[in-house]
């Protein structure tokens, strides 16, 4: 069975679950004047979610526990806390038209966690395979289908072909690698009828387990470690959406 069919069956199963977070999308429209702010906030939510999944890897992969408590509701609470730390703003206080869109991103992130509850809570198994990259990719696929918002984790040192940078992303990643470029600053442009934005992501302590040293050694996912050090540029969250 193809990955696409598996994903479609998973979404259908989640939609039928009591209390499922799959709801009618209220994506609103994004104008030129709000594009940069919305893109940055979308990226902030994804960065926050990835960080939360990374910080909870020991819990997720604990074979001695069944119910981990790593639920969609837990994720949302943590995202909201992280968002406020990152931006100084409470999500609930965003302008209504912006809030609708950001809530859709959070709902997509929650749906990813909900779809993976069975394997997260599987007792007797260690590494579950639910890692930040999987969380980000699934969230992006859900959001694309619901709101035509495209999210991608991209880097020059990609592990999955899906994350390979396109020409625009290569240009911006090269800017981020320039020592003269302000660390942490995102970059966006209007490209034809879309707004495109990249937000750099850096190696944190939780990332080193899979991406750190020794370079070339095998990580828990069976991939070769890149040999990154704390604070190194890992890549970027790439966001794109149509402008109305």
Residue 230: per-residue pLDDT: 86
Give 221's pLDDT tier (boundaries 50, 70, 90): confident
> Average pLDDT of 27-39?
88
Local structure of 95: helix, strand or coil: coil
> Average pLDDT of 83-107?
95
Give 48's pLDDT tier (boundaries 50, 70, 90): very high
Give the helix/strand (H/E) hosting 198. strand 194-202
Residue 235: per-residue pLDDT: 92
Q: Going edge to edge, which strands form the sheet with 187-191? A: 150-154, 233-242, 194-202, 187-191
Task: Please identify which residue in the block is written with the tokens 């395979």.
Answer: 129
Which residue from 108, 107, 144 is spatially nearest to 238, judged by alpha carbons?
144
The ranges assigned to domains in the chain are 28-242
Q: Which residue has the higher pLDDT, 158 or 91?
A: 91
What does residue 199 show for φ and ψ, rounded to 5 degrees? -120, 120
Residue 26: per-residue pLDDT: 64
């Amino acid at each position: 069975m193809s990955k696409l069919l598996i994903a479609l069956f998973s979404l259908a199963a989640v939609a039928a679950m009591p209390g499922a977070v799959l709801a009618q999308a209220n994506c609103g429209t994004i104008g030129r004047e709000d594009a940069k702010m919305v893109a940055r906030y979308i990226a902030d939510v994804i960065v926050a979610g990835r960080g939360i999944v990374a910080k909870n890897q020991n819990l997720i992969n604990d074979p001695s526990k069944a119910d981990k408590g790593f639920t969609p509701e837990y994720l949302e609470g943590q995202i909201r806390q992280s968002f406020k730390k990152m931006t100084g703003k409470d999500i609930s206080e965003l302008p209504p038209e912006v809030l609708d869109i950001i809530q859709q991103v959070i709902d997509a992130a929650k749906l990813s966690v909900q779809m993976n509850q069975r394997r997260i809570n599987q007792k007797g198994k260690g590494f579950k395979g639910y890692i930040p990259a999987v969380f980000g990719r699934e969230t992006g696929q859900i959001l694309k289908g619901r709101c035509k918002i495209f999210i991608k984790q991209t880097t020059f040192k990609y592990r999955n072909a899906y994350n390979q940078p396109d020409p625009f992303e290569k240009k911006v990643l090269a800017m981020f690698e320039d020592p003269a470029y302000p660390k942490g600053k995102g970059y966006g442009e209007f490209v034809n009828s879309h707004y495109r934005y990249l937000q750099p992501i850096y190696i944190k302590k939780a990332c080193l387990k899979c991406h750190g040293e020794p370079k070339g050694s095998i990580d828990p996912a069976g991939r070769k470690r890149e040999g990154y050090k704390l604070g190194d540029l890992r890549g970027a969250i790439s966001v794109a959406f149509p402008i109305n």
